[in-house]
Amino acid sequence: MISSILTRSTRPGREVLFGQPWLRLAALVFLLLPILAACGFSSNDSGGQISWTQGTRPAEGIAPPANADTTQPTVAATDVSGATDPPAEPAPTEGAVEEATLAPTEVPTTAPIQPTQPVVTGEILSPEQLQQYQPNELGVVPVFMYHNIVQEYGPGEEGDVLFRTEAEFRDDLQFLYDNNFYIITYREYIENRITAPAGKHPAVLVFDDSRPNQFYYNIAEDGSVTIDPHSAIGILEDFFSTHPDFGHTAMFGVIEIWCFDFEAPDQTEYCQQKLQWLVDNGYEVANHTKDHQDLSNVTTEIFMEKVGGTTLWLQEQSGQESATGAVVLPYGLFPDTDINPEALDQWRMVRNGFDYDGQHIQLISLLAAGAEPAPSPNSINFDPMSIARIGAKDEPSEGEGNLFLDYWFSQFLARPDLLYTSDGNPDTITVPAELPGEQVGLLDTEKIESEGKQLIEY
């Protein structure tokens, strides 16, 4: 039998909630203190902090499942004909910067998850390997949400989910590596073809807003360019190269009019080059709309322009049609049928596709803004059009829900049995015959069968 739910964590007085049923957790997210907004707030907006309220779901027949996450931030109303102003950010440092002095990695006091033995990929596991790797492909998959990667905090930035220092980001990666996670593409998660090696916990990294500090070129006097080692891509490339058994990818939500060049005009001419470099080197690009438009209350014409137009632009600029099917929702806001009479039509377009500028647009996923791990693609709770993410900051500020990295990292350590643990074979779905109590009844056997996958219980 699975042991009872743990009630301790890495910090005194903090109960472990990762082990509770997801409906109970969803209710907790709603009833507890509000959480921080996900993206798009100016540094003049009280440090970027706003409150969250329960989101409005689309009408019957179009809505995500009742237990899917659609938590949404409360923002000022947006005119149905205009774009929302972008979040302000300090201009990136031009030219080369000194190497950062990294703080030592801080790991929670709970014993880390021990790495597995050498992995097996693409094979059906033997009984001995099943006991060794303990796969559970019904577990949750953390999708992490990042914005600005900075050398040090500016005024009002510390404690803001929009900002993470390089040292903190490196510590996040090190924690994931040390605790047996493996970085996968967002698309393989959505399409249920996860290729993480046996015994590994798949995780996804997503960067919103296409900021210069995510992908910055240092430009030499002769015009040649090199990737700034302190931009997110520079950090990732360094970490992946020294940890080759950790995966090698991330997804970038791109705003069409600020393509890694917001307040950095020297970077503008390199937009297409950067997008093509990303897809050529195993990364993904996603649609974050043309100009960070709040999609909760816009006309269908504007919706098609902001989503469809940017999809076609990304396909042209990146040279990879398959890279653009996901939409990272500005502010985490879905089309809202309670306030927008055209939202139902927009949800039909999200689900069924639509034509724009003579081409058919078929979306594969919508990404919300928080604030919990996403369900397994083998779960009845899985809805690709409502994927939750975990905001990349440590402790909550006053008035926020307790659901950021320090909280979730402690949950992963306390209840690794609730995480997706791969069997190393995308063609088989392997789960323990005796599931954790929180997962009983969640296995979507009809979907597994329809996808032609073999279900293995052990």
DSSP assignment of 59-113 equals: PTTTSPPTTS---EE------TTSPPPPPP-PPPPPS--PPP-PPPPP--SSPPP
- 3, pLDDT greater than 70: no
- CA–CA separation, 366 and 289 (whole Å): 12
For residue 63, is pLDDT > 90? Answer: no
pLDDT for res 319: 85
pLDDT tens, 274-318?
Answer: 999 999 999 999 999 999 999 999 999 999 999 999 999 999 999
Which domains does the chain possess? 22-84+98-457 (3.20.20.370)
Give the residue-averaged pLDDT of 66-70.
37
What confidence tier does 123 reach under pLDDT thresholds 50, 70, 90?
confident
Pinpoint the alpha helices (H) of 319-414.
Answer: 343-352, 405-414
- What are the tens digits of pLDDT across the range 420-438? 999 999 999 999 999 999 9
Angstrom distance (rounded) from CA 410 to CA 13:
13
Quick: pLDDT tens for 318-357: 987 765 799 999 999 999 999 999 999 999 999 999 999 9
Cβ within 8 Å of residue 117, ≥6 positions away: 132, 199
Q: What is the mean pLDDT of residues 118-136?
A: 87
403 pLDDT band (50/70/90 cuts)?
Answer: confident
Q: What is the mean pLDDT of the chain?
A: 80
Mean pLDDT of all residues in 2-6: 26
Average pLDDT for 31-52: 33
Under the banding of pLDDT at 50, 70 and 90, the label for residue 119 is low
| Percent share of the chain, pLDDT over 90 | 69
Please report, for residues 33, 35, 117, 404, 418, the alpha-carbon distance to residue 28 in angstroms, rounded to integers and kept in the order given: 9, 12, 37, 14, 18
pLDDT at 104 over 60: no
Q: How many CB atoms lie within 10 A of CB 307?
A: 25
pLDDT confidence of residue 113: 41
Give the separation between CA 289 and CA 208, rounded to whole angstroms: 11
